Amino acid sequence: MGVKYPIIAGAMTWISDSRLVTSVGKAGGFGVFAAGNMSVNKFKKEIKVLKEKKINFAVNLITIAPNYKKQLQLIIELGIPFVVFVGGFPRKVDIKVAKESGSKVMCFASTESIAQRMIDYGADALILE
Ligand SMILES: Cc1cc2nc3c(=O)[nH]c(=O)nc-3n(C[C@H](O)[C@H](O)[C@H](O)COP(=O)(O)O)c2cc1C
Protein backbone atom coordinates (compact mmCIF):
# COMPACT_ATOMS: atom_id res chain seq x y z
CA MET A 1 0.00 0.00 0.00
CA GLY A 2 3.02 2.22 -0.31
CA VAL A 3 3.49 3.02 3.36
CA LYS A 4 6.36 2.37 5.74
CA TYR A 5 4.39 0.59 8.49
CA PRO A 6 1.56 -1.95 7.98
CA ILE A 7 -0.83 0.03 10.13
CA ILE A 8 -4.21 1.34 8.99
CA ALA A 9 -6.02 4.06 10.89
CA GLY A 10 -9.65 3.05 10.32
CA ALA A 11 -11.99 5.79 9.15
CA MET A 12 -14.01 7.70 11.73
CA THR A 13 -16.72 10.00 10.42
CA TRP A 14 -16.03 13.67 11.27
CA ILE A 15 -12.72 12.68 12.88
CA SER A 16 -10.70 11.21 10.01
CA ASP A 17 -10.40 14.45 8.09
CA SER A 18 -7.47 15.60 5.96
CA ARG A 19 -5.49 16.62 9.04
CA LEU A 20 -5.64 13.20 10.71
CA VAL A 21 -5.04 11.33 7.46
CA THR A 22 -2.04 13.56 6.72
CA SER A 23 -0.59 13.01 10.21
CA VAL A 24 -0.96 9.24 9.89
CA GLY A 25 0.57 9.27 6.41
CA LYS A 26 3.51 11.47 7.40
CA ALA A 27 4.19 9.13 10.35
CA GLY A 28 4.45 6.18 7.94
CA GLY A 29 0.98 4.67 8.43
CA PHE A 30 -2.00 4.38 6.13
CA GLY A 31 -4.75 6.91 6.82
CA VAL A 32 -8.34 6.50 5.73
CA PHE A 33 -10.35 9.64 5.07
CA ALA A 34 -13.96 9.33 6.22
CA ALA A 35 -16.38 10.74 3.67
CA GLY A 36 -19.33 10.16 6.01
CA ASN A 37 -22.12 12.25 4.54
CA MET A 38 -19.85 15.16 3.71
CA SER A 39 -21.13 17.74 1.24
CA VAL A 40 -19.67 17.78 -2.25
CA ASN A 41 -17.90 21.11 -1.67
CA LYS A 42 -16.27 20.09 1.60
CA PHE A 43 -15.34 16.69 0.15
CA LYS A 44 -13.67 18.33 -2.86
CA LYS A 45 -11.70 20.75 -0.66
CA GLU A 46 -10.54 17.98 1.67
CA ILE A 47 -9.41 15.71 -1.15
CA LYS A 48 -7.56 18.59 -2.80
CA VAL A 49 -5.64 19.15 0.45
CA LEU A 50 -4.84 15.43 0.75
CA LYS A 51 -3.63 15.13 -2.82
CA GLU A 52 -1.14 17.92 -2.22
CA LYS A 53 0.44 15.98 0.67
CA LYS A 54 2.01 13.29 -1.48
CA ILE A 55 0.96 10.43 0.78
CA ASN A 56 -0.92 7.24 0.05
CA PHE A 57 -4.38 7.18 1.57
CA ALA A 58 -7.85 5.75 1.16
CA VAL A 59 -11.26 7.36 1.06
CA ASN A 60 -13.95 5.54 3.02
CA LEU A 61 -17.35 5.76 1.35
CA ILE A 62 -20.54 4.83 3.18
CA THR A 63 -22.80 3.30 0.56
CA ILE A 64 -25.97 4.23 2.45
CA ALA A 65 -25.03 7.89 2.98
CA PRO A 66 -27.36 10.31 1.18
CA ASN A 67 -24.37 11.92 -0.59
CA TYR A 68 -22.79 8.60 -1.52
CA LYS A 69 -23.47 8.73 -5.26
CA LYS A 70 -22.10 12.26 -5.58
CA GLN A 71 -19.04 11.29 -3.55
CA LEU A 72 -18.42 8.24 -5.73
CA GLN A 73 -18.63 10.46 -8.80
CA LEU A 74 -15.98 12.74 -7.29
CA ILE A 75 -13.75 9.76 -6.52
CA ILE A 76 -13.88 8.88 -10.21
CA GLU A 77 -13.20 12.46 -11.31
CA LEU A 78 -10.43 13.23 -8.84
CA GLY A 79 -8.55 9.92 -8.91
CA ILE A 80 -7.97 8.44 -5.45
CA PRO A 81 -5.30 5.81 -4.65
CA PHE A 82 -7.57 3.56 -2.53
CA VAL A 83 -11.30 3.39 -1.84
CA VAL A 84 -12.90 1.57 1.08
CA PHE A 85 -16.59 0.76 0.68
CA VAL A 86 -18.58 0.33 3.87
CA GLY A 87 -22.16 0.39 5.14
CA GLY A 88 -23.81 -2.39 3.20
CA PHE A 89 -22.49 -4.06 0.10
CA PRO A 90 -21.20 -1.89 -2.69
CA ARG A 91 -22.76 -2.63 -6.07
CA LYS A 92 -20.56 -4.49 -8.52
CA VAL A 93 -20.72 -1.52 -10.89
CA ASP A 94 -19.53 0.85 -8.16
CA ILE A 95 -16.43 -1.26 -7.60
CA LYS A 96 -15.91 -1.44 -11.35
CA VAL A 97 -16.06 2.32 -11.93
CA ALA A 98 -13.81 3.03 -8.95
CA LYS A 99 -11.25 0.56 -10.29
CA GLU A 100 -11.50 1.93 -13.82
CA SER A 101 -10.66 5.37 -12.45
CA GLY A 102 -7.41 3.93 -11.05
CA SER A 103 -8.35 3.24 -7.42
CA LYS A 104 -7.57 0.06 -5.56
CA VAL A 105 -10.74 -1.11 -3.86
CA MET A 106 -11.05 -2.48 -0.33
CA CYS A 107 -14.26 -3.99 1.05
CA PHE A 108 -15.39 -5.21 4.42
CA ALA A 109 -16.36 -8.83 4.91
CA SER A 110 -17.72 -10.37 8.10
CA THR A 111 -18.38 -13.86 6.69
CA GLU A 112 -16.76 -16.13 4.13
CA SER A 113 -19.70 -15.79 1.70
CA ILE A 114 -19.52 -11.99 1.82
CA ALA A 115 -15.77 -12.18 1.30
CA GLN A 116 -16.31 -14.40 -1.74
CA ARG A 117 -18.92 -12.03 -3.14
CA MET A 118 -16.63 -9.02 -2.75
CA ILE A 119 -13.81 -10.92 -4.48
CA ASP A 120 -16.23 -11.81 -7.30
CA TYR A 121 -17.18 -8.13 -7.55
CA GLY A 122 -13.51 -7.27 -8.06
CA ALA A 123 -12.30 -6.11 -4.63
CA ASP A 124 -8.51 -5.80 -4.49
CA ALA A 125 -8.38 -6.34 -0.73
CA LEU A 126 -10.69 -7.36 2.10
CA ILE A 127 -10.98 -6.01 5.60
CA LEU A 128 -12.08 -8.90 7.79
CA GLU A 129 -14.04 -7.27 10.59
C1 LIG B 1 -16.29 7.74 16.14
C2 LIG B 1 -16.14 6.64 15.15
C3 LIG B 1 -16.52 6.86 13.84
C4 LIG B 1 -16.39 5.84 12.89
N5 LIG B 1 -16.74 6.07 11.58
C6 LIG B 1 -16.51 5.12 10.65
C7 LIG B 1 -16.74 5.38 9.27
O8 LIG B 1 -17.17 6.48 8.87
N9 LIG B 1 -16.49 4.40 8.38
C10 LIG B 1 -16.00 3.18 8.77
O11 LIG B 1 -15.77 2.32 7.91
N12 LIG B 1 -15.77 2.89 10.06
C13 LIG B 1 -15.99 3.84 11.00
N14 LIG B 1 -15.69 3.57 12.32
C15 LIG B 1 -15.13 2.27 12.65
C16 LIG B 1 -13.59 2.33 12.74
O17 LIG B 1 -13.00 2.65 11.49
C18 LIG B 1 -13.02 0.97 13.17
O19 LIG B 1 -13.33 -0.01 12.22
C20 LIG B 1 -13.55 0.54 14.50
O21 LIG B 1 -13.42 1.59 15.45
C22 LIG B 1 -12.82 -0.73 15.01
O23 LIG B 1 -11.46 -0.54 15.07
P24 LIG B 1 -10.66 -0.57 16.48
O25 LIG B 1 -10.89 -1.94 17.01
O26 LIG B 1 -9.24 -0.29 16.14
O27 LIG B 1 -11.31 0.51 17.31
C28 LIG B 1 -15.85 4.57 13.27
C29 LIG B 1 -15.44 4.38 14.60
C30 LIG B 1 -15.58 5.38 15.52
C31 LIG B 1 -15.11 5.12 16.92
Alpha helix segments (H runs only) across the chain = 18-26, 40-52, 68-78, 92-100, 112-121
CATH of domain 8-128: 3.20.20.70
* 36 in contact with ligand 1, CB cutoff 6 A: yes
pTM (2 decimals)?
0.96
- pLDDT score of 97 more than 90: yes
Q: Tell me how far the alpha carbon of residue 11 lies from the centroid of ligand 1, in angstroms.
A: 5
Residue 129 pLDDT level (bands cut at 50, 70, 90): confident
Atom of ligand 1 nearest to the CA of 127: 19
**DSSP secondary structure letter of residue 10:** -
Say if residue 114's pLDDT is above 90: yes
Q: Look at residue 23 and tell me whether its pLDDT is greater than 90.
A: yes
Q: What are the extents of the domains in the chain? A: 8-128
Model confidence band, residue 88 (pLDDT cutoffs 50, 70, 90): confident
- Average pLDDT of the residues in 67-79: 96
